[in-house]
Amino acid sequence: MEIKHFSFATTESSRFVKIIRIIFGLVCISVAVFWLVFNIKSFKTDGMLWITIIFLSGFGFYQIWSGLGLATKFIEIGTDYIRLKKNPVLPHKAITAQEIERIELFPMNMIFFLKSGKRIMLRFGALYQDRNKNIKDEIIIFADINKIPYEIIVEKL
């Protein structure tokens, strides 16, 4: 089985957009540094100044992070592991087949029950139903290969 990679991004970013994000992030950080240097000399530094500097710096770092491609959410299914990144800021989680006790597949999410007692939930978006079906199909293939029990649960309204 080859490695399957599914991105949760709604649109793919071109190289031009990534470069613009990095430049915009650098501009935000430089404006924050300028405000810090320019206003630190005045005696009227208040909370709003610090909130502005923190916001501009955080937004700038996020834009650079996103421009470098490190903020994309994805699921990667290999032969004996699943790599999952649900949050654009936090690092990905790697789950080996030996760690998974069972899998429950719902129409709009799936839950991985680990042998350690933890549960990892992956929520799907409602926009791309074909991608969600492809991910579920690959998870079923993964579970069959690694002999992991799974249950497909149909919710009725």
Q: What confidence tier does 1 reach under pLDDT thresholds 50, 70, 90?
A: low
Give the model confidence (pLDDT) of 97-146 as tens digits.
Answer: 999 999 999 888 899 999 999 999 988 877 777 888 889 999 999 999 99
Question: What tokens appear for 1 in the block?
Answer: 């089985």
CA angle 26, 30, 35 (to 5 degrees): 150
pLDDT at 115: 92
Single-letter code of the amino acid located at 123: R
- If you average pLDDT over residues 73-86, what whole number do you get? 90
Instruction: Tell me: pLDDT of 57 over 70.
Output: yes
112-132 core/surface letters (b: 16 or more CB in 10 A; e: else): bbeeeeeebebebeeeeeeeb
The string of pLDDT tens digits covering residues 30-47 is 999 998 888 777 666 677
pTM score: 0.76
- CA angle, residues 137, 141, 144, in degrees to nearest 5: 135
Report whether 93 contacts 81 (CB < 8 A). no
